[in-house]
Structure 1
Amino acid sequence: MSDKQLNSIGFLPRFFGAFGQLFKYMGNGDYAARCQAVASGEKLAFEAKPEVITKTVEVIKEVEVQAPKLDSVNEDGALQLLQLLQQDARLIDFVQENIDGYGDAEVGAAARQIHSGCAKVVSQYFTIAPVHSSPENSRVEVAADYDPKSIKLEGRVTGSGPYTGTLIHPGWKVTQTNLPKVTSTEGLAILAPAEVEV
């Protein structure tokens, strides 16, 4: 990372980027280790500066539970999920397409269809629930013995808790996975067959 402060990324780039990061995380142990370091609070270069200590937590942000670092990767589930996202949402077609020449309205129309297909896959094969049950922007209290994998404290944190702050995002967690069992891995890397009209 450079010393230049990073700019915030909008929702749609985060939405589509998350899929690429998921498979990069699952397929690259070194990358996963770097993600774990950042998730555990290790500072980036531009963040390495003294913090002012106050008595309260100003902001609370809750995030998904981070997957443990993997010594080896089972690709079957990742390839199966990519197949489903291509089949129902044409996601691979979209991310492989160069969209620089398209207008915002065209990209937005395509994103609407992809969003519908992705939502179908997620709802059909995963049960997802918020990490925190309170509504966004509400005041919440975090116990001193909170799970840092489920809750990330933002702002200036001091003391051992409990902490009080504003819930910025409730987070997401998978409570059940309903992917079909992979009985044969032959051809699993083919996300979509080539189509030939004769």
Structure 2
Amino acid sequence: MRIGLAFRAFFKAMFDAQAAERMALALDGQSPAPAITQSATEPTAEKPAAPAPAKPTGQNPAITLLATLQRDARLIDLIHENLDQYQDAQVGAAARPCLKQCRQSLDRMLKITRLVDAAENDSIEVPGDTSPARYRWIGEGASSQATNAKLVHAGWQATTTDLPKWSGATADENVIAPAQITL
């Protein structure tokens, strides 16, 4: 049933501009204007063109997160630095404050907590109807049918999401950090 409907909708949209416009409005969650029927004796009035659905503006949340980590901790600078020219101790000394600030920023924006409240190597009870996003069976002999397992990694979850609001121009949506210039 749905495949047949999808084919009908596809071909109707390909060859009927008005139908395509109505489908686009319906898919965007807007109600299409009701169809008005006219008798042959009524003069035809030109229908006003439906406004084009507005393109959602705003920065992608992934870019917002990266921009915040770059601003607060210069994470991208560290990642893109050629680390081969430095000793391990120098890399560690540079990474420590960056990682601390990244953690503070992530804790402020996402409130990251452990997914499972148990220590690694503890035996835990795995619910039978669990989501693979919450529990991933690993290793040889791993069975999604088992109810007891040894915890290898507790996992992480965000308990809140509070990303900064972005108010820039549409042309700048993908800018993570501005170029810094001087005279």
Please report the TM-score for the alignment, with normalisation by the length of structure 1: 0.56
The aligned residue for residue 132 of structure 1 is 116
Give yes or no for the alignment of 1:191 onto 2:179: no
Shift of the alpha carbon at 1:150?
0.4
The residue type paired with residue 149 of structure 1 is A
The residue type paired with residue 132 of structure 2 is P
Which of 73, 77, 80 is the matching residue for 2:61? 77
Shift of the alpha carbon at 1:196?
2.5
Q: For the residues of structure 1 that align with 2:155 and 2:88, how far apart are their CA atoms?
A: 29
State whether residues 80 and 188 of structure 1, in contact with CA within 8 Å, keep that contact through their aligned partners in structure 2: no
The aligned residue for residue 76 of structure 2 is 92
The aligned residue for residue 48 of structure 1 is none
The residue type paired with residue 90 of structure 2 is E
Give yes or no for the alignment of 1:170 onto 2:167: no
Q: For the residues of structure 1 that align with 2:181 and 2:92, how far apart are their CA atoms?
A: 29
Q: Which runs of 5+ in 2 are unaligned?
A: 1-57
Greater Cα shift, 140-149 or 180-189: 180-189
Give yes or no for the alignment of 1:161 onto 2:140: no
Q: Size of the alignment, in residue pairs?
A: 124
Please report the TM-score for the alignment, with normalisation by the length of structure 2: 0.61
Deviations 1:154-180 (A, max 9, x none): 230358332x22111110011210012
Higher-Rg member (1/2): 2
Q: For the residues of structure 1 that align with 2:120 and 2:112, how far apart are their CA atoms?
A: 17
State whether residues 88 and 120 of structure 1, in contact with CA within 8 Å, keep that contact through their aligned partners in structure 2: no
Q: Which runs of 4+ in 1 moved over 6 A?
A: none
The aligned residue for residue 147 of structure 1 is 131
Which of 97, 101, 115 is the matching residue for 2:99? 115
Q: For the residues of structure 2 that align with 1:97 and 1:168, how far apart are their CA atoms?
A: 32
The residue type paired with residue 189 of structure 1 is N
Q: For the residues of structure 1 that align with 2:88 and 2:163, how far apart are their CA atoms?
A: 34
The aligned residue for residue 67 of structure 1 is none
The residue type paired with residue 120 of structure 2 is E
Q: For the residues of structure 1 that align with 2:67 and 2:99, how far apart are their CA atoms?
A: 16
Deviations 1:96-151 (A, max 9, x none): 21111110011000110110121121011111121111122211121322222200
Q: For the residues of structure 2 that align with 1:184 and 1:197, how far apart are their CA atoms?
A: 22
The 3-state SS of whatever aligns with 1:154 is coil
State whether residues 59 and 174 of structure 2, in contact with CA within 8 Å, keep that contact through their aligned partners in structure 1: no
Structure number with greater CO (CA < 8 Å, separation at least 6) is 1
Identity fraction in percent: 35
